[in-house]
């Protein structure tokens, strides 16, 4: 089973489990601590599977190796770390919680960039991927700074910057498939033009050979 199928299977199972828990809560009418932990576990598997699917698709498409592999590893490790928080194993350890959140943020960034990497962009739109990398890294850096250092009295500028970066990331994510489609159209036209020019050159060569005297191609007498 390849990576994409594995994450897809886990996604289907986790979503199905979450749906069953929700139905059981509606029918039975009770939702205790154990049910909440099971539901959170299923939702964590769902989130990890979605991140892994994006990285797996990029890896199998040959659009990258290190980035999608890093995203897959980070999503699995982050999910496993979340399980220990959900089931009250290390939920009281503040450093452990912060490390887990850091791993999840890195996994999200790697998965998002892997997803964008699937697009094949020509020179007109290639800059959008670099722009997305900058926005993702800046937003992740701000979130990690706020989480780890907990600065007091931070201004609204920080949160406004986070809002602007989030909007830019969302915009790039939406327009990238459009740019991919436009790039594909340009590439197809260019390939067709190249093939036409090659055929024209071949026809000219054959016409030239046809117009030459036939005896040039006959064998010399013994």
pLDDT band at residue 73, thresholds of 50, 70 and 90? very high
Quote the Cα angle for 14-38-44, to 5°. Answer: 50
Residue 129: burial class (beta carbons within 10 Å; 0-12, 13-18, 19+):
middle
Nearest to 112 by CA among 81, 76, 141, 75: 75
pLDDT band at residue 193, thresholds of 50, 70 and 90? low
119 and 179 Cβ atoms separated by less than 8 Å: yes
pLDDT (mean) for 55-70: 86
- Does 155 score more than 60 pLDDT? yes
- Tokens describing residue 22: 């929700």
pLDDT band at residue 77, thresholds of 50, 70 and 90? very high
Task: Output the 3-class SS for 36-72.
Answer: HHHHHHHHHHHHHHHHHHHHHHHHHCCCCCHHHHHHH
Q: What is the pLDDT of residues 9-41, one digit of tens each?
A: 887 887 787 777 777 777 776 677 877 888 888
CA distance 76 to 83: 11
pLDDT band at residue 70, thresholds of 50, 70 and 90? very high
pLDDT band at residue 7, thresholds of 50, 70 and 90? confident
Q: What are phi and psi of 92, to 5 degrees?
A: -90, -5
């Amino acid at each position: 089973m390849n990576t994409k199928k594995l994450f897809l299977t886990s996604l289907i199972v986790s979503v199905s489990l979450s749906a069953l828990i929700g139905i059981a809560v509606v029918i039975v009418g009770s939702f205790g601590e154990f049910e909440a932990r099971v539901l959170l576990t299923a939702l964590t598997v769902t989130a990890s599977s979605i991140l892994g699917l994006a990285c797996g698709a990029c890896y199998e498409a040959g659009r990258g190796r290190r980035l999608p592999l890093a995203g897959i590893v980070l999503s699995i490790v982050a999910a496993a770390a979340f399980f220990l928080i959900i089931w009250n194993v290390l939920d009281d350890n503040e450093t452990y919680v912060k490390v887990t959140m850091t791993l999840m943020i890195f996994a999200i960034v790697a998965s998002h960039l892997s997803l964008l990497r699937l697009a094949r962009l020509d020179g007109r739109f290639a800059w959008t991927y670099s722009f997305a990398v900058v926005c993702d890294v800046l937003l992740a850096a701000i979130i990690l700074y706020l989480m780890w250092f907990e600065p007091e009295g931070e201004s609204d500028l920080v949160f406004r910057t986070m809002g602007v970066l989030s909007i830019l990331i969302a915009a790039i994510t939406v327009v990238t498939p459009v740019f991919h489609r436009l790039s594909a159209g340009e590439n197809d036209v260019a390939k067709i033009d190249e093939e036409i020019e090659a055929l024209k050159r071949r026809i000219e060569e054959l016409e030239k050979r046809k117009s030459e005297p036939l005896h040039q191609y006959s064998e010399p007498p013994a």
